[in-house]
Amino acid sequence: MAYIGREPIYGKFERQSLTTDGSTTTFTLNYTIGSAASILVNVAGVVQEPGVAYTLGTGGTQIVFSAAPASTDNVYLVFLGVLTDVAVIDSGSITNQTELAESANGDLLLIYDTSAGDLKKIQTQNLVSPSNQVLDDDEDTKIQVEESSDEDTIRFDTGGTERFTMSSTGKIAYGTNGGGYIHNATVANTFSLSSENMILAGPVSVSGTITVDSGSTLVVV
């Protein structure tokens, strides 16, 4: 039947005939296939069973019969599905036109959801903790900034309770459920104070060396 324009190709399967001699069992396929069930094999009018009457060889490029077809047999194959190459992006194709120095909130990435078995899109900010927080796995211990809009305060939570905060002026404040500053009774480090002040809770043993320069103060309470 003639067609106006391009002939439809949907439902068209590629076919291959084999020339047999009664001794050869292995033949090269015209197309690479993924499994024996991806081809329909007809020998002398009888459809052959995949995996029994024939298998695949050399990575799906050959058909191997369990018994050599006779030289008088009419043998043909119908390809039900063929392997296709998946395009791989070469690293050299990422240029200044396509490379991002960093992602922005709202940028989308394509990921494979193993639980659903599907490809899905995800916004970059949802790949990790929110950009204004550092969280543990159950999100009850965290360091967060901007709990409210532009408050410029760093908040430190453990076990779901806020312990202390640091304000924009540098003030550190322990909350009602906070704790206190604890240091070891022995200071083993060696360091210098230069235009700095330091406080230690005594009694304390210093096994290292603390150098207090002019303009600095060390207080032991």
Would you say residue 2 lies in a domain? Answer: no
| Number of domains observed in the structure of the chain | 3
Does residue 9 lie within any of the structural domains?
no
Q: Does residue 7 fall inside a structural domain?
A: no
Can you give the pLDDT at residue 8?
Answer: 58
- What is the pLDDT, as a whole number, of residue 65? 97
CA distances from 64 to 27, 46, 118, 167 (A): 7, 17, 35, 76
Q: Is residue 96 part of a domain?
A: no
Beta-strand relationship, 197-200 and 217-220: parallel
- 4, part of any domain: no
- Return the DSSP state at 68: P
Of 154, 204, 203, 161, nearest to 179 by C-alpha is: 161
Q: Could you state, in chain order, the average pLDDT of each consecutive group of 10 residues for the chain (221 residues)?
A: 59 88 96 92 96 93 96 94 72 68 79 86 73 77 82 88 87 82 83 87 86 90 86
Residue 6 falls within a domain, yes or no?
Answer: no
Within 13 Å of residue 1, how many CA atoms lie on the same side as its CB?
3
Q: Is residue 70 part of a domain?
A: yes
Quick one: 21 and 50 in the same domain? yes
State the pLDDT at residue 145: 81
d(CA 163, CA 128): 24
150 and 197 housed in the same domain: no
| 192 plus 142 within the same structural domain | no
- pTM listed for this prediction: 0.39
Q: Are residues 23 and 66 in the same domain?
A: yes
- The whole domain housing 196 covers 186-220
Check residue 91 and give its pLDDT. 65
